[in-house]
Amino acid sequence: MHISELIDRHRETLASATAANAQRTFFAHWPEAPSGKIYGESANADGEAAFKAQLNAPFPHLLQMAEEGTVGVETSPYGFPLGITYPKVGVDALVRQATAARTAWQALTPDARASVLIEALEQGARHFFEIGYATMHTTGQGFVMAFQSSGPHAFDRALEAVAMGHAAQSSVASDVLWTKPMGKFDVSIAKTFRIVPKGINLVIGCSTFPVWNTVPGMFAGLVTGNAVIVKPHPGAVYPIAIVVGAVQRVLQQCGLDPMLCQLAVDTFDAPIALDLVRQPAVGVIDYTGGPSFGAIVEREAAAHGKIVFSEKAGVNTVILDSTDNIDKTMSNLAFSLSLYGGQMCTAPQNIFIPRDGITVNGERISVEDVALKLREHIDALVGNEKAGPSTVGTIQNEATLSRVWEAQGLGLPAVRESAALPQPGFDKARSVTPLVLRADKTRSDVYEHEWFGPISFLITVDSFDDAVDHVARSIRDHGALTSLVYCTDQARMQQAEDAIIAAGAPVAFNFNSFVWVNQSAAFSDFHGAGCNPAGNATFADWSFVTNRYNIVGVRKQA
């Protein structure tokens, strides 16, 4: 496969993605519906068959060799071990192979690197349905969400990063004849500007979104000339292994070293993330995960001058002030609280409401009535035999389930208690309905930290102003990836917008249709503000790509 052919083949895709990044309008290169009419009538059956054939077998689609045997400890939250093993490669070998592979890759033009990566995405997209089943049975997401989050939505985020990285590198001429007039004569210097990556790019993945949260940093690193080592969560390897395998195959087809992108699989008992972080050759680190380990990664990196792009944890907030339609408002909020058992970094947790209630079309509705409405809409969703189980999904980690029972034992009044939710066809599935507790602002000791999972709090405060103050302070102190405000008064909306943006978080207003605050659209939404304690990364702004390389000049007397 000639790279020049790939440049021609993917020129239009790259141009469209670059334009979408600039314009921020709706753009999706891969359709999100898992439809046979789009992806082929047998695509779903073929993907499920591939998933079932992979169970209890070595993963065959990586080109890296098993230096130290094999490893694999994944278990489906739907109640069975996957039994998949992956080649185990030592840290030193990973670094050595990455270092050897990057020279030829760095020598390519930005056009060439971007085109090779788009080809890898296109070939990887042929496996969307297998990726969907792999994600379902490592994260616990329902199938449709798993298909979308790790398939089209994730691949769009990867393409977004490729286009942003390509645009940044292409904004500077690669070579120029520089001529300075000196009166009776000129002096000319031939200048070349070379992209110099900051080192091997390590990407540390999470258990709940092993592709969506991994591919932005992975492809941003690759497009800017870095070699990449992907260190997935031990409980969620399979989905991203498919993507890494696709990248390796395309690199090999192009005559490049496939070890430019490697998978580093470990176990819970023998983790290797910090060993990789401490490697001198590693210069850039992408981290998604809990704040305690994230802080360790950041400290280790800072001590050695390494760049870290982090997404850790925050406390996402909602303000209820007024609405034109209480049922649409509560339906939207109920879905956001229920989707994937609250295990999204964007899921709401703290819902602030004035103690005298909210206004609905000029009528005052009490806190008790709002709580009842919220419960009714959660009940209607999770009780729907068709939509409920797939929307809620299952709990990825036992610790999350324990956290639900811990919260339920706090002694706070319940808007809605959590209970087991059957998942048809999976008798041993770890699945529960949302828990919503009542609190007032005196219980900040309880709600002012993240309760990861299907846990939220309806918190009474003195007034709308008080709610805004609580939200802004929470963002500054604890971070947030989303905030949501229901308000029909323009002056109050502006007040909330100014306060929340100043605190460093994005804000959404009056969502009451088929868009939810949990969602983040590639090519339009900047996921993660990067300026509050929830993390310093933004998918994908200029800094997300430009901080991965430097531009170094060469001057020759003409």
In a domain, 528, yes or no: no
Verdict on whether the full-model pTM lies above 0.85: yes
The answer to whether residues 276 and 367 belong to one domain is no
The answer to whether residues 294 and 327 belong to one domain is no
Q: Measure the CA–CA gap between 162 and 466, rounded to whole angstroms.
A: 43
The answer to whether residues 69 and 209 belong to one domain is yes
The pLDDT-based confidence of 1 (bands split at 50, 70, 90) is confident
C-alpha to C-alpha distances, 407 to 191, 411, 470, nearest whole angstrom: 63, 8, 21
In a domain, 22, yes or no: no
Q: Measure the CA–CA gap between 489 and 472, rounded to whole angstroms.
A: 19
In a domain, 188, yes or no: no
Domain range for 156: 3-14+38-173+200-313+541-548
pLDDT, position 407: 97
pLDDT, position 211: 98
Secondary structure (H, E, C), 251-319: HHHCCCCHHHEEECCCCCCCCCHHHHHCCCCEEEEEEECCHHHHHHHHHHHHHCCCEEEEECCCCCEEE
Tell me how many helices (H) and strands (E) the chain has.
21, 22
Residue 436 near residue 339 (C-beta atoms within 8 A)? no
Largest Cα–Cα separation, the chain: 89
Bridge partners, residue 142, by sequence: none
Q: Measure the CA–CA gap between 515 and 517, rounded to whole angstroms.
A: 7
The number of folded domains in the chain is 2
pLDDT, position 503: 97
Q: 53: how many CB neighbours lie within 10 A of its CB?
A: 10
The residue among 308, 310, 274 whose CA lies nearest residue 91 is 274
Q: Measure the CA–CA gap between 353 and 71, rounded to whole angstroms.
A: 49
User: Would you tell me the crossing angle of helices 215-223 and 152-170 to the nearest 10 degrees?
Assistant: 30
Q: 423: how many CB neighbours lie within 10 A of its CB?
A: 22
The answer to whether residues 226 and 153 belong to one domain is yes
Q: Measure the CA–CA gap between 529 and 379, rounded to whole angstroms.
A: 33
Per residue in 223-270, pLDDT (tens digit) is: 999 999 999 999 999 999 999 999 999 999 999 999 999 999 999 999
The answer to whether residues 449 and 497 belong to one domain is yes
Whether the pLDDT of residue 118 is over 90: the answer is yes
C-alpha to C-alpha distances, 22 to 18, 25, 524, nearest whole angstrom: 7, 9, 9
In a domain, 33, yes or no: no
SS3 content of the chain, % helix, strand, coil (to 5): 45, 20, 35
The CATH code of the domain that includes 269 is: 3.40.605.10
In a domain, 240, yes or no: yes
The answer to whether residues 94 and 236 belong to one domain is yes
C-alpha to C-alpha distances, 333 to 58, 338, 357, 400, 498, nearest whole angstrom: 42, 9, 17, 21, 23
In a domain, 213, yes or no: yes
pLDDT, position 178: 96
The answer to whether residues 132 and 262 belong to one domain is yes
Which residues make Cβ contacts (< 8 Å) with residue 33, sequence separation at least 6? none
Residue 198 near residue 548 (C-beta atoms within 8 A)? yes
The CATH code of the domain that includes 379 is: 3.40.309.10
On the CB side of 161, CA atoms within 13 Å amount to: 28
Per residue in 131-176, pLDDT (tens digit) is: 999 999 999 999 999 999 999 999 999 999 999 999 999 999 999 9
Average pLDDT of the segment spanning 297-307: 95
The answer to whether residues 321 and 291 belong to one domain is no
In a domain, 527, yes or no: no
The answer to whether residues 80 and 49 belong to one domain is yes
The pLDDT-based confidence of 66 (bands split at 50, 70, 90) is confident
The answer to whether residues 331 and 467 belong to one domain is yes
Cα pseudo-dihedral 57, 239, 426, 399, rounded to 10: 110
How large a percentage of the chain has pLDDT more than 90?
98
Whether the pLDDT of residue 313 is over 90: the answer is no
Two structure tokens written together for 70: 């094999």
Whether the pLDDT of residue 67 is over 90: the answer is no
The answer to whether residues 132 and 247 belong to one domain is yes
CA dihedral sign of residues 127, 133, 138, 141 = positive
The answer to whether residues 10 and 100 belong to one domain is yes
In a domain, 187, yes or no: no
Q: Measure the CA–CA gap between 109 and 31, rounded to whole angstroms.
A: 30
